[in-house]
Amino acid sequence: MTSSFYIAWHYVIFNRVRSVTLVACITLIAFLPFALQLLLAESQQLLQSRATSTPLLLGARGSALDLVMNSLYFDDEVPERISMLAADEIADTGLGYAIPLYVRFLARNYPIVATSIDYFDFRGLAIADGRMFTLLGESVIGADVAEDYGLAPGDSIVSSPETLFDLAGIYPLKMTITGVLERSHTPDDRAVFVDLKTAWVIEGLGHGHEDLGKTNDSSVILKRTEDKVIANAKLLQYTQITTDNIDSFHFHGDASVYPVTAVLAVPHDAKSATLLRGRYLDNTQYHIVRPTEVIEGLLESIFRIKTVIDSVIAIVGLATVLAIILVFALSVRLRQRELSTIFKLGCSRMTAVKLIAAEIAFIVLASSVISTGLLAIIGANAETLVRMLIFR
Amino acid sequence: MIDIEALEFHYPQGEFSLSIPHMVVAQGEKVAVIGPSGSGKTTLLNLIAGISKPHQGKVAVADQTVSSLSDAKRRDFRITRIGFVFQDFELLDYLNVLDNILHPYRITHALNLNSEVPQRAIALADELGIGDKLKRFSAELSQGEKQRAAICRALLPQPQLILADEPTGNLDPRNKGRILDLLFENVASSNATLLAVTHDHELLPRFDRVIDFLDFRNEAVA
């Protein structure tokens, strides 16, 4: 049998284009279903673990999936905004506590998650380096953000403008990084955390500018009365909050109606949870959802799709296997002269079968090694891949 | 060494038939077989080697009736006792020259590929003037070099009988004499028998005997 492998190896190497094509075909057929299975299992695990640890989520009536994906995985599909009043209402029920979330803006393509300090206790997030944000304009970043951009406490990160040419739109705000979170292997690793008020500054609901009472530039002033000074667009607005200008930052209007995208509702117990859900059953403005139910629905859809994909892969796989059998059958016909030679030299039919079997073994072995290697790479990086491909 | 009696052979399709009433070749004899194209010279070599089986009659080599052996025994007999130089060389394009020469050892257990065999193969290839071509593939060789590789493969197992189908057909005159000398030297040194099909009448005086296929035809008709 050793000689059969020796001869077969030379045949495989000599006909390398044919061999590589066959190896590629078999590798793909072997690799794709398993890779898909690995990624789906990983995404299922990621989705479920995050959803399971989040009891209830309140948001504007609409897509429950958008609400969950935005609030739990910081997906860039922003649900309709609700006001801070919603969080206060939950707190007022006495059935649990509320954690407001405002996930809308980006900084260097990472989501800016505006929330309260309670969020970090709720998720069990700890600071690995530096300290928690305490002042307006300060931020804490996830481990991946810090690693990807080499950021550390003391550095700064700038929010991305939503529309570059909209003068009335969102302006970039340079935020000081005060801390880096410990890696949690959750979407929190890939987020920039700020206080809600900082997000509202990014949105333009709060701002800081030079003191109009002290400015010497008369061209900035549109109108001056006894109790009010109205400035034009020439007025210098601060794009970074520092200890020198922080006092100039102020908000207009009632902060209780400022926007958030969702409220994490953390009931005291199961009974409180049921009561809390009951309160919002008929609410026309808000709905309260259990993320696990939403994610289970999503997973059911994914697995229905997977069943279809599996069937397609099975059909394609069968077609490929048949094509490979045809290739080998045709190659045996094409090799009639060579087979005739080895028979003339004294080779038995069994030895000829062994030679062809050894060739097939090399092709299958090479495919198996490559498939296994690729699957090992996919397995080792499944979480990263799922985050890249699914939770972008 | 070769004893043929009342041999009858024909291919399933076609009108060709071969009929040899009697033919004997003695041990150590060097015999040339001549005859017009299509007269059955190559078929005769195939029948003696056991590659084809006669429909009637007996083909015996070294007192062994080849035609009555089972397929497996006939293969083993051929590979151990007979060296065959094929007219179209029958070299495998995916093996280099050395591997082609050693190929019979790798496809059967009847020959033992020990460490001494490759050394002998290299020495023999040197003698045949292809020592520097051993790592080349057959597609990279000239016709003459291919022929020498085929002769080397046939001689390596030191067979008792060498069947050669146009062994010098693709060689230039200078190499023709040299290769035939080597072939005869090998045959003489091992007291082997040589049966060579040839169209080259200049070579005939070098053989002990010449068999003309036209004689068989005439004998069969008579």
Q: How far B219 CA lies from chain A's nearest CA (Å)?
A: 30
Question: Which pLDDT value is given to residue A151?
Answer: 94
A10, A338, A346: residue with CB nearest B104? A346
Quick check: B95 and A3 CB within 8 A? no
Quick check: B75 and A347 CB within 8 A? yes
Question: Which pLDDT value is given to residue A166?
Answer: 58
Q: Give per-residue pLDDT as tens, B127-176.
A: 888 999 999 998 899 888 898 899 999 999 989 999 999 888 777 777 78
The residues on A that touch B, with CB distances below 8 Å, are 3, 6-7, 10-11, 13-15, 338, 341-348, 351, 355
* A110-119, A335-344, B198-207, B209-218, range with the lowest pLDDT: B209-218
Q: Give per-residue pLDDT as tens, B5-26.
A: 888 888 877 777 888 888 899 9
Q: Across all residues in chain A, what is the average pLDDT?
A: 87
Question: Which pLDDT value is given to residue A178?
Answer: 95
Q: Give per-residue pLDDT as tens, A17-31.
A: 989 998 998 898 888
Q: How far A321 CA lies from chain B's nearest CA (Å)?
A: 26
Quick check: A7 and B90 CB within 8 A? no
Does B73 touch chain A if contact means CB atoms closer than 8 Å? no
Sheet holding B209-212, edge to edge: B82-85, B161-165, B193-197, B30-34, B209-212
Inter-chain Cβ pairs, chain A and chain B, closer than 8 A: 57
Quick check: B84 and A342 CB within 8 A? no
A190-201 residues labelled b (16+ CB within 10 A) or e (exposed): bbbbbbbbbbbb
A13, A15, A346: residue with CB nearest B75? A346
Average pLDDT (A297-324) is 84
- List the domain boundaries for chain B: 2-221
Please tell me the distance from the alpha carbon of residue B148 to that of residue A367, in angstroms, as a whole number. 39
Quick check: B110 and A344 CB within 8 A? no
Please tell me the distance from the alpha carbon of residue A293 to that of residue A120, in angstroms, as a whole number. 24
Average pLDDT (A267-282) is 90
- List the domain boundaries for chain A: 2-46+299-389, 56-208+249-289
CB contact residues (below 8 A), chain B span 82-141, against chain A: 84, 86, 90-95, 99, 103-108, 110, 113, 137
- Nearest-Cα residue of chain B relative to residue A338: B92
Give the residue among B68, B78, B91, B71 at the shortest CA–CA distance from A348: B71
Quick check: A342 and B107 CB within 8 A? yes
ipTM confidence score: 0.84
pLDDT band at residue A261 using 50, 70 and 90 as cut-offs = very high
Three-state DSSP string of chain A: CHHHHHHHHHHHHHCHHHHHHHHHHHHHHHHHHHHHHHHHHHHHHHHHHHHHCCCEEEEECCCHHHHHHHHHHCCCCCCCCEECHHHHHHHHHCCEEEEEEEEEEEECCEEEEEECCHHHHHHCCCEEEECCCCCCCEEEECHHHHHHHCCCCCCEEEECCCCCCCCCCCCCCEEEEEEEECCCCCHHHHCEEEEHHHHHHHHCCEECECCCCCCCCHHHEEEECCCCEEECCCCCECCECCCCCHHHCEECCCHHHCEECEEEEEECCHHHHHHHHHHCCCCCCEEEECHHHHHHHHHHHHHHHHHHHHHHHHHHHHHHHHHHHHHHHHHHHHCHHHHHHHHHHCCCHHHHHHHHHHHHHHHHHHHHHHHHHHHHHHHHCHHHHHHHHCCC
Q: Give per-residue pLDDT as tens, A331-383.
A: 788 888 888 888 888 888 888 899 989 999 999 999 999 999 999 999 998 88
Question: Which pLDDT value is given to residue A390?
Answer: 65
Q: Give per-residue pLDDT as tens, B52-106.
A: 888 889 899 888 888 888 888 888 888 888 999 988 888 999 999 999 999 999 9
Quick check: B92 and A347 CB within 8 A? no
| CA terminus-to-terminus distance, chain A | 52
Question: Which pLDDT value is given to residue A164?
Answer: 61
A10, A13, A345: residue with CB nearest B107? A345
Q: Give per-residue pLDDT as tens, A64-118.
A: 999 999 999 898 889 999 999 988 988 898 899 999 999 999 999 899 999 999 9
Residue A217 has pLDDT above 90, yes or no: no
| CA terminus-to-terminus distance, chain B | 27
Average pLDDT (A210-220) is 72
pLDDT band at residue B221 using 50, 70 and 90 as cut-offs = very low
**B2-221: in CATH 3.40.50.2000:** no
Residues in A closer than 8 angstroms to B91, CB to CB, are: 341
Please tell me the distance from the alpha carbon of residue B29 to that of residue A73, in angstroms, as a whole number. 92
Residues linked to residue A175 through DSSP beta bridges, in sequence order: A157
pLDDT band at residue B222 using 50, 70 and 90 as cut-offs = very low
Q: Give per-residue pLDDT as tens, A189-205.
A: 999 999 999 999 888 88
Question: Which pLDDT value is given to residue B218?
Answer: 57
Question: Which pLDDT value is given to residue B64?
Answer: 86
pLDDT band at residue B219 using 50, 70 and 90 as cut-offs = low
Residues in B closer than 8 angstroms to A343, CB to CB, are: 51
Quick check: B107 and A3 CB within 8 A? yes
